[in-house]
Structure 1
Amino acid sequence: MRHIHPDDRSKTVRYLRNQIKCGELNFRKDLRILRDDDYVWSEVIAKIALDDEGRLRKLAGIIIDIPERKEKEEKLTREATLDPLTGIANRGSFDSRFMQMKQSLEDEGIAFSLLLLDIDYFKKVNDTWGHGVGDQALKHVTQIMQNTLREGDFVARVGGEEFAMLLHCDAAETADRIAERIRCNVEGSPLVTSEGTISLTISIGIFNASRGIAGQFCETMLSKADEALYEAKSTGRNKVVSY
């Protein structure tokens, strides 16, 4: 067990316990195994041997190094779940996390807030400075969001210049406060490029999901957050509006 990567140990124990509980004595799992002072991705294929009291006695099998295969798998996962420009989650990852949080709301009453963010006049940035600078603007705003959000908060790029955030919030005021902090940080941190310094602002729409509206569809929640975002943009931009 000491040769297994610390992050893989608890998963290995759970897997072993489950196999023994189900009477399945085959072991097959990808693990990072310590080899010459470095951890190497390996496929472990073994038989589980129990003592007379049904306790684990030993594993007997083989270990196959699979670093190239794992690298390809991780590359495919990144391509499938991350936005290639900003490095944050993509629309598919957002949809999956949104469904998970909605399910937690329905099952356990865990409230959350959905935030939609749009960079103001982004087309003008592209038209004036070029798409290369536009890409820098997207990365710049992404970095500010990541630096401002709390651990456990989720952010994804869901469109050209549109982002979505999912925050665990017991009180609606929490989402308002975080959104306002992001807005201020973007406004107060111009994008400095070789072409010049560019001032950016953002608009944010918020929908707070609590147990009282747990039965609503995800599309309905998105629509309401989008209505709040539209109001923020149509009434002057550079502001936060809650539905």
Structure 2
Amino acid sequence: MKVLIVDDTNTDRLLLKLYLGKLGYQVVEAQNGQEAIEQYIRHSHDLDLILIDVQMPQMNGFEAVKAIRDIQEKEKQEWFPIIFLSASANDNDVEQGIWAGGDDYLIKPISQKILVAKMLAMKRISDMRRRLVDMNEKLEKIASTDFLTGASNRRAFESVLESEMSSIEENSNGLAFAIFDLDKFKAINDTYGHAAGDEVLVEVVDRIKKNLRDVDLVGRLGGEEFGIILPNISEDEAFDIFERCRHVVEEKPVLHEEMVISVTASIGFTIFEGHYSKDTKMEVLKHADTALYEAKNTGRNKVVEYQ
């Protein structure tokens, strides 16, 4: 486990660090409440436990823990245990510590046996918490991913589209949104079978992903129709990326059980630079779809921008 120790008394902090070091734990230190918040922000992604003194200068332990719990709630971060350390055994102090966001309260001086036992309990909780976090991440990925192609599913994709549109700032580049589908895909299914059609979809998405930036996103809208989001990009840059995507689909056929399947894609896109409202997402989808329709009706295998 990784443990943050917060105590303004150097000897107490050193003693805790030595105890925890012997138990094999990684330790981060802070000397007061404000430092505790700063260290929490710096290590929140892999911290498992905080041991924090109550009486400290600048900001006491109760105030620091309240601030940390507020950050966790605001940033939707995962909970982990916090234990208060205090020389006071007053019932009101113990109650205040729990209400401040603490999960346990140890009275100083802390015996090594009690500390070892508490850390063992915290290790069990930490292991269980990490398993839950991992499981939630897997479930979230399953819920937001198209099972066949690995692209985002429509619900997750449109949620990202709304978020990106609403975050466009004045004087920044716009957002490019495209809809593409595979030309005459029904004929591929009818000629080579649905297993071959599935392999074509998987291969096409993989090729396109490799030609996008890390911030870009591909989503499956339905059947052989997909969407692409390019945040913070100029019109010319967007056209170049979409043209490159079209090219990598066309440049070599897909192989399926010794069958050679030629594939092309039509892409319609639009640039959004305005202010987001509830209706704008539907407008952007409609504009890209109109451009795709034009690409289909003027020869296929091309990129068309909505005018």
Shared fold (TM-score, shorter chain, > 0.5) = yes
Partner residue of 1:233? 296
Partner residue of 2:201? 138
Cα deviation for residue 192 of structure 1 reads: 1.1
| Matched letter for residue 209 of structure 2 | Q
Partner residue of 2:179? 116
Answer 1 or 2: which has greater helix percent.
2
Relative contact order higher in (CA < 8 Å, ≥ 6 apart): 1
Partner residue of 2:141? 78
2:44 equivalent to 1:12 = yes
2:222 to 146, 159, 164: 159
Cα deviation for residue 168 of structure 1 reads: 2.2
| Matched letter for residue 42 of structure 2 | S
Partner residue of 2:246? 183
Aligned equivalents of 2:236, 2:170: Cα separation in 1: 23
1:44 to 52, 69, 80: 80
Identity of aligned residues (%): 33
Q: Is the 8 A contact 1:116 1:226 kept in 2?
A: yes
Q: How does 1:45-64 map to 2 (within 5 A)?
A: 45-48=81-84, 62-63=122-123, 64=125
Partner residue of 1:222? 285
Q: Is the 8 A contact 2:178 2:269 kept in 1?
A: yes
Gaps of 5+ in 1: 30-41, 51-58
2:66 equivalent to 1:23 = yes
* Secondary structure of residue in 1 paired with 2:164: helix
Q: Structure 1 100/110 Cα, relative in aligned 2: closer, same or farther at 3 Å?
A: farther
Paired positions, count:
218
Gaps of 5+ in 2: 4-25, 28-39, 51-58, 73-77, 87-101, 105-121
Aligned equivalents of 1:190, 1:182: Cα separation in 2: 14
Q: Deviations over 1:31-87 (max 9, x none)?
A: xxxxxxxxxxx973223569xxxxxxxx98524112543443233212210110011
Aligned equivalents of 1:9, 1:110: Cα separation in 2: 30
Q: Is the 8 A contact 1:85 1:135 kept in 2?
A: yes
Q: Is the 8 A contact 1:104 1:110 kept in 2?
A: no
Aligned equivalents of 1:164, 1:11: Cα separation in 2: 36
TM-score, scaled relative to structure 1: 0.77
Aligned equivalents of 1:25, 1:177: Cα separation in 2: 45
Aligned equivalents of 2:142, 2:66: Cα separation in 1: 38
Question: Which of structure 1's runs of 4+ aligned residues deviate more than 6 A?
Answer: none
Partner residue of 1:210? 273
Structure index of larger Rg: 2
Q: Is the 8 A contact 2:172 2:232 kept in 1?
A: no
Aligned equivalents of 1:225, 1:167: Cα separation in 2: 13
Q: Is the 8 A contact 1:115 1:165 kept in 2?
A: yes
Cα deviation for residue 220 of structure 1 reads: 0.6
* Secondary structure of residue in 2 paired with 1:152: coil
Aligned equivalents of 1:153, 1:189: Cα separation in 2: 24
Structure 1 vs Structure 2 CA RMSD: 3.4
Aligned equivalents of 1:25, 1:180: Cα separation in 2: 47
